[in-house]
Every structure is written in C-alpha cells, then in structure tokens.
C-alpha cells in the first residue's frame, strides 16, 4: 500500500492524467527549457521523470523513498531513466545539464547541502509552497519542515551559490507555471 501522505502525488494506475495538474505543469515547463541529462531530485513516484524522458531527456530519478522509486520503475519506466534510491540531502550529485527539485525543499530539515551539491549541474529548476499564500501548518503538512516566502527562498538559493534568472508561480492546484505569479507555489529557474 502506498502511503497517501508521503506518496500524495501518485497516480493509481500509472497515468499522468491522474496526477494533479500543477505537478504535471512544472515538469512540462522544465522539459521545455532544458536538454540533455536531467536529475529529478526527490522524484517521488517517478511521473515527473517520465514527463522529462518523454520530452527526449536522459533522466536520473533519485528519491530516498524506496517504495516510490519501485513504483516509478514499475509504472513510469522509460529507456532513458535511471532509478536510484538515495537521500538527496546527503548524496553527491552526478554531472548533469540540470537538476529539477519540485516540491522537495520543504521536506528537507536543512536544504543547504542539497542545494550546494546540486551546483554540479549549473542549472536548477525548483519549487516550494509559498508561505505568503499557503502558510505552513504542521498538522496539514506533517512531512514539511516549512514553507517559504519569496525573499526567504531567494536568500537561501543565493547563500548556496545559485543566481535566480526567473521567478514564476502557480495560483492553484491545476495552474500552469507563469512568470511573476505570487500564488500557492513559487517556481524558480536558477544558474550557478
């Protein structure tokens, strides 16, 4: 059985149409901006890795949640995806053209080691819940350590050596990624 809290983004039958629209939109947005090899850090159940691979990218999908990686391997596997069970906050990253980390940072007690290690890729596409719109409440998001305001998240990225080249956002649960939207989710494109 898949844990509905940890694996909340899982599709019951392995179809992308069953995954919430804002999650799909982030991966489709990133897939249109990168080429080559992408690391999907915190890949959860792997649907985003499949979106990236279907766009012609080579993907390394990494998550500490072994059940999610197994689910991804079974339901979302593509020839250009390598599946790895590892803790992204402690592993050194392979060289890649980009790292995507969507709805991952808020799950890390200390995201700085991950963000610093991810610089091996030179480009980062990342999203977090927006504290200004969706305040963190532990009882509703027990696997989150916090949410971020735009300024706080920008400061964290900068302190880890990332330069923000674009602020984007999503208004709600089925919204596209749009420039300068102060919505429920902050989405950022960075370079180092």
Where in the chain are the domains? 16-191
| Global confidence as pTM | 0.90
pLDDT at 8: 43
Mean pLDDT in consecutive groups of 10 residues from the start of the chain, 192 residues: 38 55 93 97 95 98 94 95 93 87 95 94 96 89 93 98 97 92 96 94
User: CB–CB of 157/115 below 8 Å?
Assistant: yes
pLDDT at 15: 52
Strand duo 185-191 + 123-129: pairing: antiparallel
pLDDT at 173: 85
CATH number of 16-191: 3.40.50.150
Tell which residue, 73, 60, 65, has the closest CA to residue 2.
65
User: CB–CB of 87/117 below 8 Å?
Assistant: no
């Amino acid at each position: 059985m898949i844990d509905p809290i940890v694996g909340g983004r899982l599709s019951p039958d392995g179809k992308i149409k069953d995954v919430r629209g804002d999650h799909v939109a982030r991966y489709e947005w990133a897939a249109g901006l990168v080429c080559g090899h992408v690391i999907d850090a915190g890949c959860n159940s792997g649907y985003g890795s499949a979106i990236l691979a279907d766009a012609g990218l080579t993907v390394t999908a990494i998550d500490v949640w072994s059940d999610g990686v197994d689910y991804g391997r079974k339901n979302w596997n593509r020839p250009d995806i390598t599946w790895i069970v590892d803790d992204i906050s402690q592993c050194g990253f392979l060289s890649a053209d980009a790292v995507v980390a969507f709805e991952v940072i808020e799950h890390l007690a200390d995201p700085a080691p991950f963000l610093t290690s991810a610089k091996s890729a030179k480009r980062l596409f990342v999203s977090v819940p927006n504290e200004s719109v969706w305040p963190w409440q532990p009882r509703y998001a027990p696997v989150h350590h916090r949410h971020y305001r735009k300024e706080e998240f920008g400061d964290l990225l900068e302190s880890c050596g990332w330069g923000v080249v674009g602020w984007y956002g999503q208004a709600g649960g089925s919204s596209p990624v749009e420039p300068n939207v102060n919505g429920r989710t902050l989405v950022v494109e960075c370079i180092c």
